Amino acid sequence: MPQNYETDGAAIYRQSFRIIRTEADLGRFSPEEERIAVRMIHAAGLVELASRIRFSPSFAEAAIAALQAGAPILCDARMVSEGITAKRLPAANPILCTLNDPQVPALAERMSNTRSAAALEFWRPYLAGALVAIGNAPTALFHLLDMLEDPACPRPAAIIGCPVGFVGAAESKEALWHAQPVPCCVVEGRLGGSAVTVAAVNAIASPAE
């Protein structure tokens, strides 16, 4: 027998967000933060993610303003850069992932670090006022924090720091939250990932949705 299931994509989204808002504890979020958090929860399929999401003061406002001003989005992995819905971006914002730059492997060897960390060195010309989206590599987030220790390093407008995993992920996000060199969003602990990070960017891109 044919399966009976919802086939309207828009209806699936509406019902999903309604379930999230019913089941998740969203009371501590501002309206803009809530909209971002709901998208992140939806991407993870985990209502309990709400308790792990942290927004620093003015994060949502800073990130939205950056995109509306045409700022680039700097991504640590292609899974992040490819997931961003370009048509949602308010100013045809450039999306940049430098991980596959041919100079990265040699630089990583000289730095004695991962390719994900080394790739961030190629962000420097684009970093000022950018929206940073790190959803995969803890080493990238750690290296970004090291870069921002230098007063001469350009400052992004906001950082989404949601790397996932068992080695360094929780610690890198804790370091970002403690330092807060610019407004930031994190998912505490081992959870996070590219899909969650992409969801946050896409929500920020359409604040009136």
Q: Which residues are catalytic?
A: 42
The contacts of residue 153 (CB under 8 Å, 6+ apart) are 124, 127, 147
Secondary structure letter of residue 168 according to DSSP: S
Tokens of 12: 């699936």
Amino acid identity, position 69: A
Angle of helix 31-44 relative to helix 194-205, nearest 10 degrees, comes to 150
Strand order across the 73-75 sheet: 53-55, 184-187, 158-161, 131-134, 73-75, 95-96
Distance between CA 21 and CA 48 in Å, rounded? 12
Q: Minimal CA–CA distance to 71: which of 158, 134, 3, 145?
A: 158
Alpha helices (runs of H) in the chain, residue ranges in sequence order:
9-23, 31-44, 59-68, 78-81, 104-111, 115-119, 138-148, 169-179, 194-205
CA distance 197 to 161: 8
